[in-house]
Amino acid sequence: MSDNGGAPYGPGSADEPTSFGLQPPRPQPSYVPHPDNPYAQPAPAPAAQPTQVAPPRQPDPGAGRVVAGRYRLLSKLGNGGMGTVWRAKDETVDREVAVKEPRLPDQLPERERSKAFERMRREARAAARLDHPAVVNVHDVAVEDGQPWIVMEFVQGRSLGEALQEGTLGVREAARVGLEVLGALEAAHAAGILHRDVKPDNVMLGRHDRVVLTDFGIAHIEGETNLTDTGGFVGSPEFIAPERVLGQRPGPASDLWSLGVVLYAATEGVSPFRRSNTPATLQSVLNATPAAPASARGPLADAINGLLQKDPAHRPNAAQVRALLERAAEPPVQPPTQVVRIGSAQGGIRLGRKALTGIAAGVVVLAAVAYLVLARPFAGPLPDGWEKHRVPELKATVAAPAGYTESKPGADAPKGAHWVQYTDASGAVWVSLSVRRKAEDSLNEIAKDGAAQAYADNKDFESSGDSNIGMASEPAPKGDPKPTTYKGDDEAGANTIAYQTSETSGSLKREVRILYVKAKGDMYELMIGYPREGDFADRGREVADAAVANLEIENS
């Protein structure tokens, strides 16, 4: 297999021959059951929480070099087929970036080197043209010794491929990740761009539940010169769609096939088409049908089975896939209310997408209580009709109106999930408390005090836009961080964030109140979510006032 181009996406492109004597899909496919698949990897126990890719202890060769007079290389983040990705410091604007260094064999002819460098420049143009939170931001293309170095945003986190070395994803998490990747692909396809190499290693899992699709280095842009030699294509063999293997003209359905393979591997722990060599892998793409998903159920299984149809004409389109994944990502319904999980796979409760967008306006039947605002002293008398809930695992007591349904992390929750939530039967108002443990803070995300945490988190909320505040639509989420007091601690923090959800059933204006208190190195976050406008906005703010006033932290 060569790595020098891909079949074009666009009218007027002829089909191309393929190699290895591969045979088209057979009418009766052979099945590959899980027990007989030698490429399934055993899943070790999950780590306490995902961490950013760590640099080696010894400096990498080349570390300290300054590229284009401004980008100082710090450490290697990873290697790909066409280059090495470095963590670097942009010394002009004082920020960390990721820089992709071109890497080509010394014996490669000059013509091939020129084509490869053109492909890297094309990666930058492809990604820079796209405006989507799940597409990596490209800042610059720096030329050093005639070679293009692509400068991108530094996404703190790790790849999906690395995460899958520790175990598979649950149905809801896989659907959430799939929705983000699908959104990136929809944006690319609308701009006439095929990604052509969708795989777990090119999906980054960042902070605050952000998912980013990277590496458009082999993407084809409609209207640009095709860099493919006859009979060749690029991409990772086990994720390449059958039509590309046969040298046929690819389209958006080819990227969707790759997404289906990613979702299968993410939930089943098996790379369904991988074999011991490239020809065998490509042959399995054409003829082998993996066993039906066992871990993925319901709409997610339907999406995977549909995407892995050999004939692209039989695959669901992006809109159909989105509908299935949205259903799969919905939180489970537990009578008498829908339990909304607020959390992040990286530990601690964050303003996750489903936690905010899944809360719909409804009728609140509890009596209105006007009580205690944030600026007043804490630990006032408990309002009538309220209950206090001691949560031993959090070493805290949370107050909420009687009748609110309690939810906590389940048995399958990742390590580092420390939270409790109380939700009104309508789903319109909720009270939650989470703790970020100092012992689990490998990324040093806990600030020096509650006030500093409020400002730091608000910066992330507002700068990341809809990636952090539950698919918020325009305008961007807006917070109001400020110092406050908690039982004499004048370094606590508070924030009130206004945001707007993007729902198929209609946009909802919401608000969330947050109190930050640091106790013995751990960061406590009390959050209350409620409608920002409408009949229940005042009731929600009353609940927030009383919940803040009656929080009790044993470590403080």
CA distances from 546 to 394, 403, 433, 469, 542 (A): 20, 16, 14, 24, 6
Of 205, 136, 135, 208, residue with least CA distance to 174: 205
- Which is more confident, 26 or 508? 508
Confidence of residue 13 (pLDDT cuts 50, 70, 90): very low
What pLDDT is recorded for position 166?
87
The set of residues, in sequence order, having a beta carbon less than 8 Å from that of 79 and lying 6+ positions away, is 85, 103
Token look-up 């289906």 returns 260
Burial 516-537 (b: 16+ CB within 10 A, else e): bbbbeebbbbbbbbbbbeeebb
Confidence of residue 23 (pLDDT cuts 50, 70, 90): low
Q: What span, in angstroms and rounded, lies between the C-alpha atoms of 457 and 466?
A: 14
The pLDDT tens digits of the residues spanning 67-80 come to 989 999 999 887 76
- Which is more confident, 222 or 358? 222
pTM above 0.85, yes or no: no
CA distances from 539 to 368, 389, 405, 515 (A): 6, 21, 17, 18
Q: What span, in angstroms and rounded, lies between the C-alpha atoms of 130 and 193?
A: 9
Confidence of residue 214 (pLDDT cuts 50, 70, 90): confident
The two three-digit tokens of residue 170, written as one number: 């649950």
Q: Is the pLDDT reported for residue 302 higher than 90?
A: yes
Q: Is the pLDDT reported for residue 193 higher than 80?
A: yes
Query: What is the mean pLDDT of the segment spanning 452-477?
Result: 65
Helix (H) or strand (E) holding 433: strand 430-436
Most trustworthy range by pLDDT among 137-141, 499-503, 547-551: 547-551
The set of residues, in sequence order, having a beta carbon less than 8 Å from that of 333 and lying 6+ positions away, is 339
Pairing of strands 522-531, 509-519: antiparallel
The two three-digit tokens of residue 127, written as one number: 């990604």
Token look-up 């370094």 returns 491
What pLDDT is recorded for position 58?
63
Q: Which of 135-139, 154-158, 330-334 has the lowest mean pLDDT?
A: 330-334
Q: Which of 3, 197, 457, 535 is catalytic?
A: 197
Q: Is the pLDDT reported for residue 42 higher than 70?
A: no
Q: What is the mean pLDDT of the chain?
A: 76
96 DSSP β-pair partners? 89
Q: Angle CA(271)–CA(55)–CA(150) in degrees, nearest 5?
A: 75
Quick one: what percent of the chain has pLDDT higher than 90? 37
- Which is more confident, 147 or 386? 386
Residue 100 labelled as part of a binding site: yes
Sign of the torsion angle spanned by Cα atoms 506, 467, 394, 480: negative
Most trustworthy range by pLDDT among 15-24, 99-108, 317-326, 341-350: 317-326
What pLDDT is recorded for position 25?
60
The answer to whether the beta carbons of residues 381 and 397 sit under 8 Å apart is no
- What are the start-end ranges of the H helices in 215-352? 242-245, 252-268, 278-287, 298-307, 318-329
Residue 256 phi/psi, 5° resolution?
-65, -35
The two three-digit tokens of residue 254, written as one number: 């080819």
Q: Which of 34-38, 479-483, 535-539 has the lowest mean pLDDT?
A: 34-38
The pLDDT tens digits of the residues spanning 355-381 come to 333 333 332 332 223 333 333 334 456
- Which is more confident, 317 or 62? 317
Q: Is the pLDDT reported for residue 551 higher than 90?
A: yes
- Which is more confident, 159 or 45? 159
Q: What span, in angstroms and rounded, lies between the C-alpha atoms of 141 and 147?
A: 10
Q: Is the pLDDT reported for residue 555 higher than 80?
A: no
What pLDDT is recorded for position 544?
93
Q: Is 94 a catalytic residue?
A: no
Q: What span, in angstroms and rounded, lies between the C-alpha atoms of 259 and 337?
A: 33
Query: What is the mean pLDDT of the segment spanning 493-499?
Result: 90
- Which is more confident, 503 or 536? 536
The two three-digit tokens of residue 355, written as one number: 């936690």
What pLDDT is recorded for position 211?
95
What pLDDT is recorded for position 464?
55
What pLDDT is recorded for position 423?
92
- Output the furthest CA–CA distance in the chain (Å, rounded): 81
Query: What is the mean pLDDT of the segment spanning 236-260?
Result: 93
